[in-house]
Chain A
Amino acid sequence: MTFINYVAREINCKLVYYGPGLGGKTTNLQHIYQITNPENKGKMISLATETERTLFFDFLPIDLGQIRGFSMRFHLYTVPGQVFYDASRKLILKGVDGVVFVADSQEERLDANLESLSNLNLNLKEQGFDLNKIPYVLQLNKRDLPNALPAERLKKLLLVKGEPVYEAVAPKGVGVLETLKAAARQVLVELRKSA
């Protein structure tokens, strides 16, 4: 749910990074945090376990700049990927404006990707959203690993609706910004359509 603030001249949108556990959702946000100017970002909050696994969510507010005198602010969230944190994932999807699905390219994580994608579909429906309509980007992460499946095969299995796909190596920042830009662009275009 977008919050349009005429007083502060801000448009606030919510983007959620979804995907299987250990797929690199938090690493995406950490990279965005590192490369964003201090004046364009807020504090990054990670609610994680002692072993650095996301327990509830990561949160990073960023300001993408101004359009027509309005600041375009995006609140970036990750969900906990582990299967048993489903209740938390549902909460974080509330009021979402766009979703980035961070897939793990490793062969042994294929089933986890498929399970997480199906879970996303289900949880979005529960929140009143349709995966086929909501702004959505697919990121194929961990492309540098030797056991990564060919991108074409992953696309065949994970593409939902012809969404933009980006190959990424999140710890090195490869594909991270491109993914964010594509998702933010879709959110803004959707917002313009609904205005």
Chain B
Amino acid sequence: MNASNIVLYEAEYQRLKSILVKTQRELGIDLILLIDRDGHQIASEGPAQDIDLTALSSLAAANLAATDGLARLVGEPEFSILYHQGKHRNIHISDVSRRYCLVLVFDEKVSLGLVRLRVKHTTAYLEEVFKLFARKTETKKNAAVPSNSPSPFDFTDEDIDKLFGR
């Protein structure tokens, strides 16, 4: 497996999800979304059904990447937090371990100060979990695919052809 690829298994997902659930409930926000810096969704929680999560993930990652570029231009190592204030809804985007990104969507009833405080704590919990995952990945045997999960990489050239309807 390419070391730069991100692999998400059930146990890891459940741990990440439980952290998001706790933060979402405590803050009463519309949405909390964890993505990687390339804009892939990892986990989310919240009642906001009207938001296209794929599009939000891509735009939030791009937004954070562009902000990183701005930071470097003015001699800062990073601007790790982005906040967009709207009439009714606000978005808070922040870095997690330089590889992931946390996106919160909330309305005017939620205090920004509280959001910032909770994001700090949530980020620390998530970073702990990601550290554990990284260690697990290093010890290859623990990172192996669970035996009850078929590897998605056993595909043949014919499987690819079928994908394209040939």
Contact = CB atoms under 8 A, between A and B. Distances in A.
Contacts of B38: 1, 3, 14, 75, 94-95
B7 A4 contact: yes
Given A42-B54, A67-B163, A1 B13 contact: no
A11 interface: yes
Contacts of A67: 152, 155, 159-160, 162-163
Contact of B5 (A4, A69, A90, A189): A4
Contacts of A14: 38
Q: Is the interface of A mostly helix, strand, loop or mixed?
A: mixed
Given A1-B5, A91-B65, A188-B155, A6 B150 contact: no
Contacts of A185: 160, 164
Nearest to A186: B160
A56 B66 contact: yes
Contact of A94 (B65, B150, B151, B153): B65
B136 to A, nearest CB: 14
Given A6-B8, A194-B5, 11 more contacts: A1-B5, A3-B36, A4-B5, A5-B42, A12-B40, A59-B55, A64-B163, A65-B163, A68-B155, A75-B38, A75-B39
Contacts of B62: 47, 56-57, 91-92
